[in-house]
Structure 1
Amino acid sequence: MSMPAGWYDDGSGRQRWWDGEKWSEHVAPEQSGGAAAAQPPTGPSAPSANGYAAATTGPPSSPDRVAPVLGFVGLGLAVLGTVLACIPVTFVVGVVVLIAAFVVSLVGVLTKNTAKWPSIVGMVLSVIGGVIGTIVTLVIVAATLVGPVPPAVPTSEPPATSTAQPTSPPTSDAVDARPTPEEIAAQFEILAKEGGIVGYEGDPDFYPCMGRFMYDSEVSDESLRLIVQGEDPLETEREIAGEAIKQATLSCQS
Structure 2
Amino acid sequence: MSLWGVRGSIQAGWYHDGSGRQRWWDGEQWTDDFAPGQAAAPVSSAPPGSLSGSKGPAPVLGFVGLGLAVAGTVLACIPAVFGIGVVVLLAGFVVSLIGLFRKGATKWPSIVGMILAVIGGAIGTVVLIASLVANLPGPVDPTTPTDAPSTSTQQPTDAPTSGTAEGRLSPEELGVGLAETLRAGGVTSYDDMPDFYPCAGQFIYDSELSDETLRLITSAQEPLPAEKDAAEQVLRDAIDTCDPDGEGSFG
Name the TM-score, length of structure 2 as normaliser.
Answer: 0.47
Name the TM-score, length of structure 1 as normaliser.
Answer: 0.46
